[in-house]
């Protein structure tokens, strides 16, 4: 039997959000707003982006607990690191720019730059024609 808590795959902030608004809300925020700074208002109403994303009940709970704060949503759930690294490597190999990769994946610019710098350099300075 494992000694890990049930939500060991989540970051501490996502675990806190899960305690407040539910695991579903935390996972949705972790996927849809990864790496972004978001503002949690004191009160929310239907039509607000947070309600549209996680539902009115979860958004109300989150705003009553974390209202009037800006938070940076963690860029990935634990265990997504390898999958994300593979996606970044593939996009770099296909020639996407850093900004295109950031927009498509939701990771930070510094993460993309780090991955790009770690990629092996081509031996041929002329590059590949195919």
Is 3 part of a structural domain of the chain?
Answer: no
Same domain, 63 and 105: no
Calculated CA dihedral for residues 116, 117, 123, 124, nearest 10 degrees: 60
Boundaries of domain holding 67:
12-72
Same domain, 18 and 62: yes
Mean pLDDT of 119-126: 70
Q: What is the pLDDT of residues 84-120, one digit of tens each?
A: 788 888 889 999 999 888 877 778 888 899 999 998 7
Is 37 part of a structural domain of the chain?
Answer: yes
Number of domains in the chain: 2
Most confident of 18-27, 48-57, 71-80: 48-57
CA separation for the pair 37, 27 (Å, rounded): 16
């Amino acid at each position: 039997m494992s000694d890990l808590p049930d939500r060991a795959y989540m970051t501490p902030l996502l675990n806190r959000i899960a305690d407040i608004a539910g695991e579903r809300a935390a996972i949705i925020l972790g996927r849809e707003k990864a790496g972004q700074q978001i503002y949690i208002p004191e009160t929310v109403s239907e039509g607000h982006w947070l309600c549209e994303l996680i539902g009115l009940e979860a958004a109300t709970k989150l705003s009553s607990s974390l209202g009037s704060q800006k938070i940076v949503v963690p860029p990935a759930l634990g265990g997504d690191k390898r999958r994300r690294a593979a996606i970044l490597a593939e996009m770099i190999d296909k020639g996407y720019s850093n900004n295109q990769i950031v927009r498509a994946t939701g990771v930070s610019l510094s993460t993309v730059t780090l991955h790009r710098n770690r990629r092996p350099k081509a031996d041929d300075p002329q590059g590949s024609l195919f």
